[in-house]
Chains A and B, each alone.
Chain A
Amino acid sequence: DAGVTQSPTHLIKTRGQQVTLRCSPKSGHDTVSWYQQALGQGPQFIFQYYEEEERQRGNFPDRFSGHQFPNYSSELNVNALLLGDSALYLCASSLANYGYTFGSGTRLTVV
């Protein structure tokens, strides 16, 4: 049973560029959430998708946007990258609220 799959694993971008990160949820899960984890910090909630709609959003600017597809997979897009966007981006999937399964993350470095 495949868990949560994220791609790519590592990414280097230049300030001002745009990036798209991808996530495939665990089989049977219908909700996808995205988190940003800066070095030495706990993950911070970006947003959550359910039934192809954004259900909740954390304290992140509009430069962060997302999408969920009919097969429950999801994308995270970040526009106009800043140095401070460098972090580990984690995708988590769940079925309703019963426990989250996290992927291995995408390490984004903005130079």
Chain B
Amino acid sequence: KQEVTQIPAALSVPEGENLVLNCSFTDSAIYNLQWFRQDPGKGLTSLLLIQSSQREQTSGRLNASLDKSSGRSTLYIAASQPGDSATYLCAVMGNTGFQKLVFGTGTRLLVSP
């Protein structure tokens, strides 16, 4: 059974800092890994999707890496801004047929001005 863990559970940083969010998963047989952002009480916004054959994806100030063999992914946020404050969720999809997403419990990020 796939299990996804995210560390830290919460993070508070001053504006301008670079930061790293961590995601680990127990079963390396994944099809892809996706990072989402969730604002309080809202739905999920997809940030980056990494296919199992890829090592990293970049979008603006965000960079996500994937090490499938070790069951780890990191989300790097450069030059953090107060608008980055949200919960960040990592989700993996298995590699057999149509598969569900298995989510971690998220990292709650607060960026202070």
Cβ B49 vs Cβ A42 within 8 A: no
Residue tally, chain B, CB below 8 Å to A: 24
Q: A55-B98, A100-B101 are in contact. Are A107 and B41 (CB under 8 A)?
A: yes
Cβ B46 vs Cβ A102 within 8 A: yes
Is B100 interfacial (CB-CB < 8 Å)? yes
Segment at the A interface, from B12-20, B31-39, B61-69, B76-84: B31-39
Interface CB pairs A-B, < 8 A, 19? A31-B98, A33-B100, A40-B105, A42-B91, A42-B103, A43-B91, A58-B100, A96-B98, A97-B31, A97-B32, A98-B49, A99-B34, A99-B46, A100-B91, A101-B46, A102-B36, A102-B46, A105-B42, A107-B41
Q: Which residues of B contact A (CB under 8 A)?
A: 4, 31-32, 34, 36, 41-46, 49, 89, 91, 93, 98-106
